Amino acid sequence: MKVGLLVFCLIFGAGVPAAFAQEIRVAPDPGVIAVGLGFKGAVVNISGTAPAQCDIYLKMVSPGRKERLNKKGKVGFLWMNVAQAEVVNVPKMYQIYTSAEIDRLPPSLRKDTGLDGNFAAVHDRATVIVATGGKTKDLPAREGKEYVDALVGLYKKKGLYVVQEKSLFTKEEKGGQSFSALIRIPAEAAYGETTITAYAIRDGRVIGQSESPLIIQPTGVAGWIRKMAKTNGPLYGTYAVFIALLAGLLIDLLFRFFEKLICRLPGIKRE
């Protein structure tokens, strides 16, 4: 068993040499957020334990997704849509909470862990496909930066991309420390399994790392609608049309009923 663990550490633990030297644990409460029609966002308590005398850094990242963007530019003296882009593999939610400043981390560690105030990891992983003049092409990271920047800016405004330094509450415990943070998840949060990663960092080195999932899933009517919309478009579209037709008919019936009831509404003018 010990040999197995040692081999496992040698193979997978190279990036985090002291990962198993001391324990760090993290868990969200609640671990599952149900999104119904009355969902207004949620508050999650993320707490855990960590080795003593180290800084704690929390990172919360949702799965990558794609988003379509339009770019405006000047054609002659007119502002027009000049390109359409699809930005792929960008998480909708990327949040960092720490017990110390991010600047204390060496640049290489910031890059490796994704603990970067400028969300550099998002830029590194994103792919940008641009369509212009009927042709599409993949943009290199530097050229695609403006699209990713725009998307990150948009997510920041919605409270989905957050960096809060020294926002973790820590308390010395026997043989270590505990930490916690109350985190506001906005209503526009990404569905799916968001990964919460806690890093224990001392002297610019990761001495412990732990992951825990936070599941955000639509339930009830909201869940049914979303599932139908994403998995059975033709049936969902037919339902949508029938609901609309029925609503139009019902409202007309209601108006006729009230018209007859009152019998005093303006008469029909025929040409």
Partner 1 sequence: MEIFLPVAGVQIKTYLIFSLGGVVGMLSGLFGVGGGFLLTPLLMMIGIPPAVAAASDTNQIVAASVSGTLAHGRAGNVDFKLGYIMLLGGLTGGTLGATGVKILRQLGNFDLIVTLVYVVMLLFVGAFMFAESLRALRGKGSADSLAGRPFYLAKSLPGRLFFPVSKIECSVIVLFALGFFIGVMAALMGVGGGFIMLPVMIYLLGIPTHKAVGTSLFTVIFTAVNVTLAQAIINETVDVMLALLLLLGSAVGAQVGARLGRLLKGEQLRIFFSVIVLGVMVKMLHNLLAAPASLIVLGGGH
- Alpha carbon distances (Å) from 30 to 3, 172, 183, 214, 223: 36, 24, 11, 8, 19
Closer CB to partner 1, residue 21 or residue 244?
244
Cβ proximity to partner 1: between 84 and 170 the closer is 84
Contact map string, positions 206 to 235, toward partner 1, x by CB under 8 A: ------------x--xxx-xx--xx--xx-
Number of H helices, E strands in the chain: 6, 14
CA-based torsion, 47, 51, 57, 59: positive or negative: negative
Judged by CB, which is closer to partner 1: 169, or 242? 242
Going by their DSSP bridges, the two strands 161-164 and 94-98 should be labelled as parallel
Is there binding between residue 257 and partner 1 (CB under 8 A)?
Answer: no
- Closest CB to partner 1 among 25 and 65? 65
Site for partner 1 in 179-198 (CB under 8 A): 187-188, 191
Sheet harboring 32-35: ordered strands across? 32-35, 205-218, 192-202, 55-61, 94-98, 161-164
Nearest residue (CB) to partner 1, 140 versus 234: 234
Span 35-94, contacts to partner 1 by CB under 8 A? 35-41, 67-73, 75-81, 84-85
By C-beta, is 174 or 270 nearer to partner 1? 270
Which residues on adjacent β-strands are paired with residue 196? Answer: 60, 212
Least Cβ distance, residue 168 to partner 1 (angstroms): 28
Residue 163, beta-bridge partner list: 96
Pairing of strands 192-202, 169-173: unpaired
- Which residue's CB is nearer to partner 1, number 7 or number 250? 250
| φ and ψ of 93, to 5 deg | -130, 130
Residues of span 150-169 touching partner 1 by CB under 8 A: 150-151, 154
> Smallest distance from the beta carbon of 100 to partner 1, in angstroms?
34
Residue 157 beta carbon to partner 1: minimum distance, rounded to whole angstroms: 10
Binding-site size, partner 1 (CB under 8 A)? 67
For residue 58, give the 3-state DSSP assignment. Answer: strand
Query: Would you state the structure tokens that stand for residue 188, as one six-digit string?
Result: 């526009």
Token couple for 130: 């641009």
Residue owning tokens 């050229």: 143
Residues that bind partner 1 (CB under 8 A): 35-41, 67-73, 75-81, 84-85, 133-135, 146-147, 150-151, 154, 187-188, 191, 218, 221-223, 225-226, 229-230, 233-234, 236-241, 243-245, 247-252, 255-256, 265-266, 268-271
